[in-house]
Amino acid sequence: MKHLTDIINKIRWDKRENEEDYSFGYLDNGIQNFDFKSIDFEQSTKFALAVKTEHEIKFIPFHKIKRVYRKGEIVWEC
């Protein structure tokens, strides 16, 4: 199984990938799905992924991300 950072690096560096195709499921009183406009790689830290929503930037701690979806299908799960 790939590590979460492998998936995030693929989204960031692979020109064939479109970050708009991806969403995350994160742990917050159960798994919540989180849609976003784009990933802000410059503001992301080694502890959290920065994602842009319509009105703000949110930080999702990596340890809370439990699923990655691509076009609605799970491509990574821990």
We report the CATH number of the domain holding residue 22 as 2.30.30
| Domain membership of residue 70 as a residue range | 4-77
Query: Using CB atoms within 10 A of its CB, is residue 64 exposed (0-12), middle (13-18) or buried (19+)?
Result: middle
Question: Looking at this protein, which amino acid is placed at residue 63?
Answer: H
Q: CB-based contacts of 54: which residues, under 8 Å, 6+ apart?
A: 37
Question: Per the structure, how many domains does the chain have?
Answer: 1
pLDDT at 1 over 70: no
Q: What's the pLDDT tens digit per position in 21-55?
A: 998 988 887 767 777 778 999 999 999 999 998 88
pLDDT-derived band of residue 72, with 50, 70 and 90 as boundaries?
very high
Structure confidence at residue 29 (pLDDT): 77
Buried b (16+ CB within 10 A) or exposed e, 7-27: bbebbeeeeeeeeeebbbbbe
| SS3 state at 21 | helix
